[in-house]
Amino acid sequence: MRKLATAAAVLVLAGTGLAGTAGTAGAATGREAVATTCSTVWGSGDKTARDPSVKPLTNIRTGQQECFDRMVFDIGGPAGKTGYHVGYVDAFYQDGSGDEIPVGGGAILQVYVSAPSYDPGTGKQTYAGRAGKPLPGVDVTGYRTFRDTRYGASFEGRTQIGLGVRARLPFRVTQSGDHLIVDVAHTW
């Protein structure tokens, strides 16, 4: 009887080992089942670059990444630095009028981009944002961090956006070519 119990235990352990190997082999051929470590060293303090632009804002779009949600500002004209000021605010007030614009979410990230939503030379509109309304063509339904978007204004050469996020989370601002990029982490 003792030999039978030992043999059964060996078979169970061997089966467990095979099951573990089969799972590992499957993972090795594609994605590994390892949790991704996401950096949260960005912090949640204000971020600013003072590079005035005479190039217009042409589009705003968003996307989801594994560790963060992303908002991209497309700036017209040749690639180069664009000024910005990004930071958390308690309430979102439209530049110029001072009217409060409600923004959904647990926190509000206010984004100023030194690019007007019109061509400075002709005055022709280049981005169709309307004060207090969601950003045209942007739908953040189902995003892990983003909850709402609102257009503030294009005033004195810069465009103002309210980004509603789940909570006050770390964010970073980078530039690539003619794009200004704001990433907000999913977690701390």
pLDDT bin (cut points 50, 70, 90) of residue 51 is confident
- How many of the other CB atoms lie within 10 Å of CB of 158? 23
Mean of per-residue pLDDT scores for the chain: 85
Mean pLDDT of 148-157: 95
pLDDT at 135 over 70: yes
- How many of the other CB atoms lie within 10 Å of CB of 163? 30
Q: What CATH architecture applies to the domain 47-185?
A: Sandwich (2.60)
Element (H, E) at 10: helix 2-29
Place of tokens 């169709």: 128
Does residue 164 contact residue 152 with C-beta atoms inside 8 Å?
Answer: no
Tens-digit pLDDT profile for residues 27-48? 333 444 445 788 778 999 999 9
Domain ranges (residues) in the chain: 1-34, 47-185
pLDDT at 68 over 50: yes
pLDDT, position 163 = 98
pLDDT, position 182 = 98
Give the angle subtended at the CA of 135 by the CAs of 50 and 44, to the nearest 5°.
45
